[in-house]
Amino acid sequence: MALTEIRWHGRGGQGAKTAALLLADVCFKNDKYVQGFPEYGPERMGAPITAYNRISDRELRVHSNIYEPDFVVVVDETLLEATDVTEGLNPEGAIVINTTKSADEVKTHLRGYQGKVFTLDARRISVEALGKYFPNSPMLAAIVAVSGVIDRDTFLSQMRDSYRNKFAKKPEVIDGNMKALTVAYDEIAAQINKGDVCNG
């Protein structure tokens, strides 16, 4: 892996920034060179935000925003109407969208993007695993599965360690978050393995 660039689209309060930082952290622990950073407009709940990851085997010398990502993660599907989420997206890459719709159903909103399209119902997974709607954990696992920046077992092991530190005083939420990660990863991996993916 020479360089993988990922762009996240979400809304304030959905955890896109946190997911990008978590991805940077686990890849750093896996001996990668990483960047994880947000780009804000007005910092308010519900406002569109963009976050970025660069992950490489070599030292990173670029510190700009990412304009031609290999992968895009859409944490809130309402942004498909408001934003060109596929702008600059590599047709050899993929987009992962949090939606109840199929890849075929959402492709009409992707402005002619010809790459792979994956969909995941992060709300269902989050509510079943955590009792609340936190889409960032399922979407984090989804992009790891699609991009292959880190293998499944290493990713899950290191995320458990991260959650143990983050939720030291609330250990009851660790298992829920791990379930959300595992279910999301495996659902996307099943789409990949079955070839159940839409090419725009």
pLDDT above 80 for 199: no
**Residue 115: its pLDDT value, please?**
92
Q: How far apart are CA 19 and CA 67, in angstroms?
A: 19
Work out the average pLDDT over 68-84: 94
Give the pTM: 0.91
**pLDDT confidence band for 73 (50 / 70 / 90):** very high
User: How much is the mean pLDDT over the chain?
Assistant: 90
Work out the average pLDDT over 165-175: 82
Q: Which residues pair with 71 in a beta bridge?
A: 6, 94
**pLDDT confidence band for 168 (50 / 70 / 90):** confident
Lowest mean pLDDT among 39-43, 67-71, 95-99, 109-113: 39-43
